[in-house]
Structure 1
């Protein structure tokens, strides 16, 4: 009986680990000069429908990273704030914000890893 319980617990842990592949924590340290956010660390997540979000770890506020996620926010399907709220200005391109491309690409890899 105890062996079955242990096996069940291991199976549950493995399932949770597999589902955790949809979220990754990234930091300013990892991206260097490409870092686009006013926060030092964020989580990137891919939902089953391939909508991509950045998540502020300290406040749990979501920010859409792609058009699908933006539509969900605008329609009220998902509680989120516009990504512009946490985007940094691009010092190399005055009047523009930093590019989200590296973060969208990283979040898309989460979708593909499922």
Structure 2
């Protein structure tokens, strides 16, 4: 009986400590603007980790996509469930053959680091 109470408590503590380690928000195409929205998805979560690593997160799969050099270093080191951001980047209709700029997303994620 004690084990049934202990396991959920441990899971809850792990989630709380993880949430306190990073700021996480959800942003959408509506919030950023249709012309600047760089993704093929309608919304993503953004996070700034303690070390300044910025990630976009797919809310349905929880896969993380690196947004800056610190996050890319984690991806190259094999830390976490990270994928290339190119998988969810949309084509730039104004510049065929190019992907949309991530700058509006990086700027928004960077704001989380100062909180």
Q: For this structure pair, what is the TM-score category when the shorter chain's length is used for normalisation?
A: 0.7 to 0.9
DSSP 3-state at the match of 2:106: helix
CA offsets, 1:5-62, max 9 Å, x none? xxxxxxxxxx98x949711100011112100111101000000000000000011110
CA offsets, 1:53-97, max 9 Å, x none? 000001111000001101110111232000000000000111110
DSSP 3-state at the match of 1:34: coil
Please give the TM-score of this superposition, normalised by the length of structure 2. 0.79
Please give the TM-score of this superposition, normalised by the length of structure 1. 0.79
Q: Which has the larger radius of gyration?
A: 1
Partner residue in 2 for 1:76:
78
Paired residues, number: 98
Which segments of 5 or more consecutive residues in structure 2 lack a partner in the other structure?
1-15
Choose which of 64, 67, 89 in structure 1 pairs with 2:66: 64
Superposed, which structure 2 residues align to 1:1-114 within 5 Å?
A: 19=20, 22-32=23-33, 33-113=35-115
RMSD of the alignment, in Å? Answer: 2.0
Q: Which consecutive aligned stretches of 4+ in structure 1 deviate over 6 angstroms post-superposition?
A: none
When you count helix as a share of all residues, which structure comes out higher? 1
Residues 1:97 and 1:45: Cα distance change in structure 2 (over 3 Å): same
Partner residue in 2 for 1:7:
none
Partner residue in 1 for 2:7:
none
